[in-house]
């Protein structure tokens, strides 16, 4: 059996939520600075969330087989591309490198105050990357919008939006 098939959405949800909770608890200053005029970059925030996620993955047997990569732009030996010949560089992926057989999760992050166009672009990427008729076949895609006191998520599977989730953050 493929190891990615052992991981259910509840496992993903627990992993992502634990990582976001640590980020909001430990890196509040980044959240606060991202709301100022000269904002902290999305990449900076994703780096920290990815670190928390990797640390959590290391403690969970279901994720021991997987690699976590930030800004991973490869499709085996070639660049990740959409049908439109546009390169794809997802914020975070959980997968096994050098194969599309074990593509588990792709995550796109946006700050709440990001441009609508950029958010739609990320949603389109997630639909493409989770479409089982295309090359990449990620089991799950997450669109995560980071706000000062809330996190909004959209879950994608099989090329479609499946559900929306909202979380309030207290710190």
CATH number of the domain that residue 70 is part of: 3.90.1570
Domain assignment of residue 91, given as a range: 3-168
How far apart (Å, rounded) are the C-alpha atoms in residues 13 and 8? Answer: 9
CB atoms within 10 A of CB 34: 19
The pLDDT score that the predictor gives to residue 87 is 78
DSSP-assigned letters across all residues of 140-156:
EEEEEEE-SSEEEEEEE
Q: What number is the average pLDDT over the span 149-167?
A: 96
pLDDT of 63-120, one tens digit each? 999 999 998 765 555 555 555 567 788 999 999 988 888 999 999 999 998 999 999 9
Rounded CA Rg of the chain: 15
The pLDDT score that the predictor gives to residue 35 is 64
Better-predicted residue by pLDDT, 144 or 79: 144
Distant-in-sequence, close-in-space partners of 22: CB < 8 Å, separation ≥ 6:
52
Give the residue among 148, 85, 161, 56 at the shortest CA–CA distance from 119: 161
Domains in the chain: how many in total? 1
pTM: 0.90
**Which of 64-68, 95-99, 138-142, 164-168 comes out lowest in average pLDDT?**
95-99
The pLDDT score that the predictor gives to residue 71 is 81
pLDDT of 24-78, one tens digit each? 999 988 888 766 655 788 899 999 999 999 999 999 999 999 999 998 765 555 5
The pLDDT score that the predictor gives to residue 80 is 53
Q: Counting beta carbons within 10 angstroms of the beta carbon of residue 93, is it exposed (0 to 12), middle (13 to 18) or buried (19 or more)?
A: buried
Q: Kindly tell me if the per-residue pLDDT of 128 is higher than 70.
A: yes
The pLDDT score that the predictor gives to residue 94 is 96
Beta bridge partners of 153: 144, 165
């Amino acid at each position: 059996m493929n190891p990615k098939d052992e991981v259910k959405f509840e496992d993903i949800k627990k992993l992502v939520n634990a990582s976001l909770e640590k980020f909001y608890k430990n890196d509040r200053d980044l959240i606060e600075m991202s709301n100022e005029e000269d904002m902290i970059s999305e990449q900076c925030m994703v780096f920290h969330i990815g670190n928390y996620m990797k640390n959590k993955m290391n403690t969970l047997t279901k994720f021991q087989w997987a690699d976590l990569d930030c800004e991973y732009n490869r499709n085996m030996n070639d660049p990740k591309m959409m049908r439109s010949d546009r390169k794809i560089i997802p914020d975070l992926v959980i997968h096994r490198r050098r194969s599309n057989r074990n593509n588990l999760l792709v995550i796109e992050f946006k700050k709440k105050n990001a441009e609508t166009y950029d958010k739609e672009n990320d949603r389109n990427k997630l639909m493409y990357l989770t479409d089982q008729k295309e090359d990449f076949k990620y089991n799950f895609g997450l669109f995560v919008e980071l706000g000062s006191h809330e996190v909004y998520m959209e879950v994608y599977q099989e090329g479609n939006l499946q559900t929306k989730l909202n979380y309030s953050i207290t710190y």
